[in-house]
Structure 1
Amino acid sequence: MQPGPDRQPRAGGREREHPWDSEENCRVLSQQGSGEGGGVVYCICEGGLYTIRVRARAGCGPLMPGDRLALPTEDGESEEIATILGGARYRDMPAGAQAVITDVVHDLIRDLPDKFLTFYNRAGNLSRKFHAFQLLPGIGPSKALQMVEGRGRLGWDTFEDVDESCKIDSAQLLTDRLVEELKDPQMTPSLLENVVRIPDA
């Protein structure tokens, strides 16, 4: 029997009910209430950038945007999070979460460069006339070609290498594209689905 459309296989042959089930950590976007009584916290997962709602443990105290929290797993509990309530669409998030999501994603990308440099080091042509670099805001065909030439065969080790080679703010451009996709999940081609959320990306 094949897994249903909302279920994904996980290690050991068991099915994964939600796409964020394999996530270990998340970053806070906004918190409803003081945290003394628990309350709902909007977060973004570090691995696949899934936006979720969680219920905080009573007495967790105030949580600030960008705070890193461990998610509860089958093998252990989280000090701050009692349970994951479900996914959270951008349009349904409170204004506070929407206001900080770009900054939080940018910091996350800078903190986990190996994962997100994958795009710059592996991006190729999507068609004969369109390179994946052109998905980034403000990057046209000639700039994309320049970036490919600057990458060469060895690629880049840091975002600073990309910036110096291509004269761009690589982390910010990637942030802007990914946040656009979080706002509009129908955007295609999707870097979230084709780069960020693939295994070992």
Structure 2
Amino acid sequence: MTDPRRKRHINAPSAPKKKEASPDSYKMSRPAEGRKEVPKPKPEPSRSEGRQQQGNRSGGQRTGRNQGGRQGGDRRGGRNQQGGRPRPAKPERPKALTGEDWARVIEHDTKEDVVTAMSEKTLGFCRLKVKSDGQLLIPSQRLYIGLDGAQRKEVVSILGMARRDRMSNMAKMDMPLVVQMFVEEHASYFVDEFYNKAGPISLKVHGFELLPDVGKKKAAQMVEARNSVGVFASVEELNTACNIDAAELLARRFVSELEDPAMAPRLTELLLPVEA
């Protein structure tokens, strides 16, 4: 019998012993990388950016077509380059000068070779490019502005219409004188068409009262002087009988109408153009 108090020795299998690492074979462990970043989704392009991208794509396609088309471009480009319909040239003459053949010098800018002139039929103001020959064009000198290029001795081209509010002070001062000289040159026409035919335009206003500085009393004296001779034979007879300067009064009326487009009735529309 065994003694229960006797120590029992049990042979249990032991685990393998760990080898001690040598100092030369020691390797440092890899540090922790942490949390990997998740790629963010790309934002969707806005409407404007999408349109721009589409435009760039279409522009690239068009450029490719232009470079790879037949003989230098697409169909439209080919037509323009190979005898297609030419673009209409800009008209040289403004519509306001339609039918005008002559204009009168108001001011000549010799530095720019530009003349401010007045057309004879409608008294419209225009700007003309003239030849740079150094010759000064005097006020009221006639210049041909018609369509016949052979008759244009001084005028090179018509630059356009001239606005009175942008004229120089010298041009504004000379303009009434140029108008008066125009009326004096056609004095017989204006005597026959206005002074010998003017009558009442209403129950209270006579046609003579349209002239500056002519009131009811003066208008009545002019009518009486006309009735005494029947008709005025010349501007000299008219001036003597009525004690006026007929050309100056009519020219001042024309200038007032040119300055005020709303003035009515307008003698410039009733008496112009001059019929030779």
**Which range, TM-score by smaller chain?**
0.7 to 0.9
- Which of 249, 253, 262 is residue 173 of structure 1 equivalent to? 249
Alignment of structure 1 residues 1-201 onto 2, 5 Å: 18-34=95-111, 39-59=113-133, 61-74=135-148, 76-117=150-191, 118-152=193-227, 154-197=230-273, 200=275
Q: Identity across aligned pairs (percent)? A: 34
Give yes or no for contact 2:122–2:268 (8 Å, CA) kept in 1: yes
Deviation of residue 114 (structure 1)?
2.7
Give yes or no for contact 1:56–1:81 (8 Å, CA) kept in 2: yes
Deviation of residue 74 (structure 1)?
4.3
Mean CA deviation greater in 100-109 or 145-154? 145-154
Give yes or no for contact 1:60–1:80 (8 Å, CA) kept in 2: no
TM-score if structure 2 supplies the norm length? Answer: 0.59
Give yes or no for contact 1:28–1:65 (8 Å, CA) kept in 2: yes
TM-score if structure 1 supplies the norm length? Answer: 0.80
**TM-align CA RMSD:** 2.3
Secondary structure at the counterpart of residue 122 of structure 1? coil
Aligned residues between the structures: 182
Question: Structure 2: any 5+ residue segments left out of the alignment?
Answer: 1-92
Q: Alpha-carbon deviations, 1:8-43, whole Å to 9, x = none?
A: xxxxxxxx9624322222211001224xxx622101
Deviation of residue 79 (structure 1)?
0.4
- Structure 1 pair 184–64 and aligned structure 2 pair: CA distance change class (3 A): same
Using CA pairs under 8 Å that are at least 6 residues apart, name the structure with larger relative contact order, 1 or 2: 1
Moved runs in structure 1, 4+ residues, more than 6 A? Answer: none
Greater percentage in strand: 1
- Structure 1 pair 18–115 and aligned structure 2 pair: CA distance change class (3 A): farther
Q: Give the whole-Å Cα distance in 2 for the aligned partners of 1:84 and 1:155.
A: 42
Deviation of residue 116 (structure 1)?
2.4
Partner amino acid for 2:153? E
Partner amino acid for 1:18? K
